[in-house]
Structure 1
């Protein structure tokens, strides 16, 4: 109980400081924010050596504790990855400032002018697992959208996150902006997560980013409003009319490019009429890349014993590794039914040459992103031109899909007049 009370006091103090910083951010111009973002990008590159040293400590501890290769890949930074993270900040600086955007506006018959405008959320809490890039993406997007941010990363990336936050806070100070606009929440005690989830009135919204366990813990235990980012049990369906070479390239890219991220394919569904021709080619392409196939009886009969028998659990698994569930379906309707039963509302893809099949698929699957003849790897804020993203929202209220600047705002109604008063009714 003492630890919980101490964590609550700590987090509440951080949140109050964030609130003060948010009030100051609300007055900044776009030029002020963009200059800070460019300065942050330059500072990260300049501090690469110290960031990589901290990250190496996290990676060493992860390997010693038996962390999987997929999770190590998410955790590990390189000079190239730091450069890419810095470029994301520069991209965000180049995007329009959403604050002050008029969503709708009109003048009433009595001359009163009504405008619905975008304003910052205020204080945003982000709870995430071992991906240090989220530290910078979250800080940059929140700064540009006028929000202060509380970053609660995982203990597995504690050294990396501390180094990144230190660089970002020092840069804000150097730009004359409040350093408390970016704060890290200590990750050495799980009770800080509980305290952040219960800081209602001090924290305006919490966004979880990670695996199913983390997301459900946040959703089920928060009293602060939550924007739910979802698990990616992503399907690629190869229709009977598909260009099979195209399908092979899309499948390889969707699964193998970065198997540890949420937009990676986890299940392949193939129309029965082309399964005997397509599956042996797909198996060779994927197995050459080290992918373990978990197939239904039809897939194993066509491809052979190199395919592991699929269990019921496989159809619901986000592997985040070089594993792929494979099934044969009788029709487009059967593929859609499978996806609706096992999908997580993240990303679903169809490869087809049939316009009607594409239309039916896009209307019937329930997902934040639906891809037609394109890799699932494109479900990404950067690829969509958003500069970066906080995560992929799979809920339907407020935000859905890659969450970037507009999704980190709310609206207020600005009502202006020349002394009008409302009559008695």
Structure 2
């Protein structure tokens, strides 16, 4: 087991080199063609994974994450095409200046090196991550969940085929084919010599394990307890539309709103706001004020509720006295992921956006826009709630580091 992973690490170190932008884009164009040409083969491999997942007894929402169809494959293709169009983030001059002694200093972007990505369920991650890491000049070692094994494998192999075609070491992208779970432990604790950054994409248990065991830097988030706050100056029609989308469009993603905060002045509209959700099949966990004023069925909320990432058709609802209470609640119970305010008062919105600790703060739109693709990044390798950068969706431009280049003409330090 250890020999297998160390070999992968050695392969990555050996493969890593600076690649011309045109060649990078040609590899990605070949990848697009190969996916398009082999859609049926990919879907057949995906069907194997779906059968395995159902046999294993995976929850319906996890099976949905896993399932590919023609539309999803087209989305993968479009995401790759977007990355092709994006500017190469490597060897970009971030800033430059000249010192009084004549030294010329440049701050220039460079690849991170080797990135290890551990993920569950979604096979599109294989294509997204391979594409983003390669375009940003990074080698990647992929460890997908066993439930998506066949789909992940075929997509990774197609990328490697494209690398070989363009005379690039295919080990720029490697997929861990062994399913032993102990491999993850070894990868996190014994591979710091080979892996520069680890990115986990999956449930709370996976991310927690990675954060606890990893000997290298981790980019990611533990939970996505996202909030939407309906301010006293919110447009009711807009609020209803946004809240429904933020909660119900896709309940299983980390950008789904889990807690709804409502200003006391909007209590008179509580039935309109919450009935829209309950008609969509959403369970309401409300505080005492909600329980008293909402005509529909309400389960009582408590401190545990405010700290819960439901990832299903459930929402926690609380009435707040003012914006200060809303911000206080978010900063206490939130996970610095994505939090939104609905208001027509731009001054209030600005105060909210500046005051919440979130990596993504939003006015008058859905928290479900917390996504690299929606940001125009051509996809993401994950979302980071770390205080240190990168924060928010980690796309192409976040997968680089930098170095200082200094050019002298014989100066010596006094």
TM-score by length of structure 2 reads 0.96
Choose from 330, 344, 363 the match for 2:354.
363
Contact 1:47 1:167 (8 Å CA) reproduced: no
3-state DSSP class of the match of 1:413?
strand
Question: Following the alignment from structure 2 to structure 1, what is the Cα–Cα distance between the partners of residues 319 and 58?
Answer: 33
Contact 1:103 1:116 (8 Å CA) reproduced: yes
Question: Following the alignment from structure 1 to structure 2, what is the Cα–Cα distance between the partners of residues 47 and 353?
Answer: 49
Question: Following the alignment from structure 1 to structure 2, what is the Cα–Cα distance between the partners of residues 9 and 295?
Answer: 53
1:213 aligns with 2:191: no
Choose from 331, 334, 341 the match for 1:340.
331
Q: Which residue pairs with 1:252 in the alignment?
A: 244
Between stretches 119-128 and 279-288, larger displacement belongs to 279-288
Q: Which residue pairs with 2:412 in the alignment?
A: 422
Choose from 63, 68, 75 the match for 2:66.
75
Choose from 6, 11, 19 the match for 2:5.
11
Choose from 372, 382, 401 the match for 1:410.
401
For the aligned residues, what is the CA RMSD? 1.5
Choose from 229, 245, 251 the match for 1:237.
229
Compute the displacement of 1:200 (Å). 0.9
Deviations 1:72-99 (A, max 9, x none): 2211111110110111111001000011
3-state DSSP class of the match of 1:345?
coil
Q: Which blocks of at least 5 consecutive residues in structure 2 are unaligned?
A: none
Compute the displacement of 1:421 (Å). 4.2
1:170 aligns with 2:161: yes
Contact 2:121 2:147 (8 Å CA) reproduced: yes
Contact 1:75 1:157 (8 Å CA) reproduced: yes
Q: Which residue pairs with 1:20 in the alignment?
A: 14
Structural mapping, 1:96-245, within 5 Å? 96-186=87-177, 188-198=179-189, 199-245=191-237
Compute the displacement of 1:113 (Å). 2.1
Question: Following the alignment from structure 2 to structure 1, what is the Cα–Cα distance between the partners of residues 263 and 132?
Answer: 41
3-state DSSP class of the match of 1:217?
helix
Compute the displacement of 1:297 (Å). 1.9
Q: Which residue pairs with 2:29 in the alignment?
A: 38
3-state DSSP class of the match of 1:208?
strand
Q: Which residue pairs with 1:268 in the alignment?
A: 260
For residues 234 and 164 of structure 1, do their structure 2 counterparts lie closer, same or farther at Cα, with a shift above 3 Å needed?
A: same
Q: Which residue pairs with 1:301 in the alignment?
A: 292
Question: Following the alignment from structure 1 to structure 2, what is the Cα–Cα distance between the partners of residues 261 and 390?
Answer: 14
Deviations 1:248-270 (A, max 9, x none): 11111111111111111111111
Q: Which residue pairs with 1:3 in the alignment?
A: none
3-state DSSP class of the match of 2:217?
coil
Question: Following the alignment from structure 1 to structure 2, what is the Cα–Cα distance between the partners of residues 416 and 359?
Answer: 43
TM-score by length of structure 1 reads 0.94
Question: Following the alignment from structure 1 to structure 2, what is the Cα–Cα distance between the partners of residues 306 and 201?
Answer: 56
Q: Which blocks of at least 5 consecutive residues in structure 1 are unaligned?
A: 1-5
